[in-house]
Structure 1
């Protein structure tokens, strides 16, 4: 059974670095959680390194701006690895061709800004679906619409053999008290329909490779055994950590607050039942990051 702890400080001395999820752990899509910010600041003051590891379909620079708006100070973290950066790298190296059908909002358009780290990048053109060589999905056109509304487009795309690049594997997030669909829900539907979806965020390996590179920019040579992954998604954060053989801290008060009956802490029996149903084995669990 996952060990329930009261505070990050109980176990943090065992780890040189943290890979920390954002939405549901550090902020709620509107504002930062003060206790989470304080816990990460304290960890860094003791010499620990914090790499924020997020499935946001944006660059680390855009995420940093967002964190500032949410009231998360720069001394909370050392570096950022995003699903967006990992997916953009794939897009600009031709993973879905150069003519792409874009699913997302105007807010997601920075995804197409040039990526300076790639030599001779593919020139990307956004086109209508009938002219596309592939699909780039940063999220739904409307976060409150059922993913099934795109079934007709996906049927056509599957028949054309188009690959879908998923910039955010999350299925849902909670923005304050409102649950919203993410790109992962659309990619899941496309795959279920027989299409091919390409993933680059948690729980898939590319974003962990990126996170290790971002960690090595701060301090090279830290082994996986000295890294703790923190997150509220058993199918993303915890599954990814388990796949990479990295210890994990499950934040039960995020996406799983209801089934784990989390108030300040999860109900032990509810937590055990939930993790068993999800076939998930986080090393530790806590109600909220603090």
Structure 2
């Protein structure tokens, strides 16, 4: 069971999202954005919209609001992840002067590994990939590409870094994410050579599952279009698996949903 202080922090974070989206919910007087191309497309479905008591103008307004909801929920997930884990968001960038180092030979090796899965003839293997890249180290170091992790947690013997991702990524995004992940992992290995590096991509829920709390990693990777060619199951966490890892407890996702439902219920009273 989550500690009361963590529950209160999660409730506070969700209440802020709820209040913000309530204020921004479109009304009759809401400014109507000029979206001529979208309007033409939606008019093609006017009959279907009318069967659901919807019209083109209201759909345009609500769709813009929903985009804002997705952004707000992304920030909420990041906040909850840090509340549960005790970690913090961390940017390793040139601008902040926090960028890490990687060797030129390691970068070359990463590109070679990144190219292999395109044919689908090789299966991703995190342990062998990292070992192969680290063996290609050299004295010629350069700045690694900028990256940001949503959860960064350092202990005396380990580094845990998690990047939260949308469950609706763009088509073909897996390849680029794999290259980015490999470079980030190696840069962390170079900077913390005496510590175990745990680096994951996290997805807050499984949109392909028929139940809210369930998940199927193999099916989800197929949903990502080619994701299974690039990511081994141990390189990402999905749904309740992610939330349980962050909290160190079981049934965390169920508790988060209950907290959110309670906030909504109190608002309705």
Q: What range describes the TM-score normalised by the shorter chain of this pair?
A: under 0.3
Taking structure 1 as the reference length, what is the TM-score of the superposition? 0.27
Q: Give the greater-gyration-radius structure (CA).
A: 2
From the two aligned structures, give the one with the greater strand fraction: 1
Taking structure 2 as the reference length, what is the TM-score of the superposition? 0.28
